[in-house]
Amino acid sequence: MSLVAWVGVKGAGGASTAALAVASVWPRDRKVLFAELDPAGGELAARFALAPDPGIVQLGAAFRHALSPEEVWSNAQKLPGGVPVLVGPASAQQGHALGHLWEHLGPVLAALPDTDVIADCGRLEPGSPILELAGHATVVVLAARPTLEGVAHLRARLAAPVAPVSDAPTGIVLTADRPYSAAEVEAAVGVKVIGVLPRDDRAAAMLNGQPGSASALSRTALVRAARDMAAAISGVARVARVPQVALVPQVARVPQVAHPRAERPGEVRTADVECGSAVVPSGPTP
């Protein structure tokens, strides 16, 4: 039982797609729940033609003083590929109306029996209600672009605590493989890059609801990289549940180093773990 807080750094286009790709190929020996928890509003219902309820809004409507794992699962739906999903609020107004539910979600999702939760948290802004949930994360993943601007935003994000009480290990996922490599980004910010997802617009479109071949999607570079990334994050989460073990040293300050040089491809770390199938919708969305 682990809670992976997936945070999009400013300008990290494709952060939610990356989170969904990883959830779709999560190791088969672990149950997974994809939770769309961006307080600014989610997009899964529209992309996959899902009903808005059940979901987090319905969960919030029934919430009083406590939350149980059974209530979480009773408000989950399934994506076309079979991945369970907790559909998020449709707008920032709905997200704000959830009130105190946000502070109760973290401990429940982090302790969901025999389940790893991939929580797409959107961007963590000061005062965001999702900060409380991130404080209960087993692992924090920062999704960023390996560009000059992306590295600058990543450095700024790392300079501020992700959550007031979070001491979870933190790693970086790159949502493109150029212009800077994983090694160059690591050198620039001082935090480990867990993996790199190469740009593949067709594969990303299928992951986000467009029709296509499941077998063809599973062979794409994007999904292959997502499998490696899922195995790596899952492994870190298992180790992180052991007290006083971390993925990377605590970053007391952001290293002041030169900007990385471009024109070198990124690298994806691999792991020999059997993973499930990718999400491929069976038909078009509206």
Going from N- to C-terminal start, the domains of the chain cover 2-240
Residue 162 pLDDT:
64
Q: Compute the average pLDDT of residues 106-111.
A: 95
CATH domain 2-240 topology: Rossmann fold (3.40.50)
Residue 242 pLDDT:
60
Of the pLDDT bands very low, low, confident and very high (cuts 50, 70, 90), residue 277 is very low
Residue 71's alpha-carbon distances to 36, 87, 118, 176, in angstroms, are: 16, 14, 18, 37
Tell the residue number behind the tokens 């948290």, with chain if given: 121
Coil, strand or helix at 76: coil
Residue 215 pLDDT:
87
User: Does the pLDDT at position 260 exceed 60?
Assistant: no
Q: Compute the average pLDDT of residues 45-60.
A: 94
Of the pLDDT bands very low, low, confident and very high (cuts 50, 70, 90), residue 155 is very high
Residue 166 pLDDT:
65
Strands 77-78 and 84-86, how do they pair? antiparallel
Residue 274 pLDDT:
31
Check residues 264 and 66 and name the one with the higher pLDDT.
66
Q: Compute the average pLDDT of residues 37-62.
A: 93
